[in-house]
Chain A
Amino acid sequence: MGLLTKKEMKQTPIVDDANDARYGVVEIDLDKCNGCRICTLICPSNVLELFGEKHNRRARIKEGLVMCLACDNCHAICDRDAISIVSGYDFAGRYKQLGRGAPSQPRLEWGKPAAGGYTGTVPQCPAAPEMDGRHD
């Protein structure tokens, strides 16, 4: 179309390109999960599904393009504390997140580790290195 410069073209990330978009990651403890299905029902991005034999199902992340928003609602609702996020989402170009820090549970005191994955006093935004070149 010729309406956008090459630089402007790179500013809009392509949502299904791993170089432009990194999505949230959840970790599921298969020993704790009892396949109750509630996380698959409430997930806002529809990224979870059940697998396994009848009466012995577990939750897992779907294959293919999964756009997890790292909302952690699956962790909030899980009766068995079997699932929680490990990292958030980020995009290259115009929508790159700035100064986010690492995910942490509510803290009563800052600078001290809290239950659920606070990783240090000054956490770095865990951006994928290949994205950095695209941000300007």
Chain B
Amino acid sequence: MSEFATEVLGENDPEQTEKEAGKVAGVTEIEEGAPWNAVEDAFLRRRSIRKFKKKQVPAHLIRRMLEVGRFAPSQGNCQPWKMVVVRDRDMIEEMEDFCVASCRKIAGMVDYTVYDKGTFARRKTEMMAKLISRSKPNSMHPVPFAAVSLVAQNRFAVFHHPPTIILPLMDTRGIGHPQIDLGIVGTNIVMAAHSLGLGTCWVGLASFLNESPEWRERLEVEEPYEIIEAISVGYPLGKPMRNTVSRETHETVWLEDGKKELIY
């Protein structure tokens, strides 16, 4: 171990290492049941924001978020991303209109919920939905299906009219699973935004933009980059961090001392 590492980590002293780790989060000793520290609390209180104030976010805050994103871990340090920041309100509305139109086209083919049961249109669209669900099980999951249906009926928005949109483009030549790296860089960005009092929302339906040569050109997306997600950024309406939320506990497999336990 180098002199520097010994000084920082302590030699063969796991207890010392744990104490040092706690200091990063502002806690000296961590016992079971100790209150959440600032970093944990930030993760527990970050919500997806879908209603923004009109006020534009200062450009320096966006740059600050991108700067935190830049230090995200990636497979083989390949950093398979390129950021596009859209702050032009008219352009954001046009992006919204384009994605709504795309949702309408898809809903026209597969959205059976708008037809009465037993009608021919219902049977036809239901069969189409089931067929596509075989080849695209993730896109045709009932939840995005419902989202597309709601957008097509004007009961839901795609980007939620934010003052700023960040498009983290993915370099398709990334190492291993570049989508994961995109998710990590995006998490850095949204958590930095949260710590600055900003609200963010991941928008998967933004991937419609990737199918359009016109939008790829307008957003400067060239090979080998792809639009796979968008992040809407703005000041949240109300106090969405007032309470924490409930989430399912999930079955966890715990393997220790040759025993297997399922805990929740």
Name A's B-contacting residues (CB within 8 A). 1, 3-4, 8-9, 11-16, 21, 38, 41-42, 44-46, 65, 67, 69, 71-73, 75-79, 81, 84-85, 88-89, 91, 94-95, 98-111, 116-118, 121-123, 125
Contacts and interface: CB of A to CB of B under 8 A. Distances in A.
Contact of B240 (A1, A45, A73, A81): A73
Contacts, number: 139
A34 B70 CA distance: 44
Given A1-B127, A91-B142, A122-B264, A108 B245 contact: no
Interface centre among B36, B112, B134 (most CB of A within 10 A): B134
B245 A75 contact: yes
A100 B250 contact: yes
SS class, residues of chain A in contact with chain B: loop
B143 interface: yes
Contacts of B264: 101, 110, 121-123
Task: Name the prevailing secondary structure of the B interface residues.
Answer: loop
Contacts of A1: 127, 131
B225 interface: no
Interface of B: 32-36, 44-45, 47-51, 112-113, 126-127, 129-131, 133-134, 137, 140-143, 145-146, 150, 155-156, 237-251, 262-264
B143 A84 contact: no
Nearest to A125: B248
A77 B142 contact: no
Contacts of B248: 88, 100-104, 125
11 contacts: A12-B133, A46-B150, A72-B247, A75-B243, A75-B246, A76-B45, A76-B47, A79-B239, A85-B245, A98-B251, A106-B36
Nearest to B113: A16
Contact of B51 (A13, A42, A101): A42
Contact of B133 (A71, A94, A106, A111): A94
Given A1-B131, A14-B126, A106-B36, A101 B241 contact: no
Contacts of B249: 100-104, 107, 118, 123
Contacts of B262: 122
Q: Give the one of A1, A9, A91, A101 with max B CB within 10 A.
A: A101
Contacts of B243: 75-78, 81
A109 B142 contact: no
Given A67-B143, A72-B247, 20 more contacts: A4-B130, A12-B129, A38-B238, A42-B240, A65-B113, A69-B143, A71-B48, A76-B47, A77-B242, A77-B243, A84-B246, A89-B143, A94-B137, A101-B248, A104-B246, A104-B248, A106-B36, A108-B36, A109-B33, A122-B262
Nearest to A126: B248
Contact of A108 (B33, B51, B112): B33
B35 A76 contact: no
Contacts of A102: 248-249
A111 B264 CA distance: 8
B25 to A, nearest CB: 15
Contacts of A121: 264
B42 to A, nearest CB: 12
Pick from B48, B134, B155, B248 the residue with the most CB of A within 10 Å: B248
A72 B243 CA distance: 10
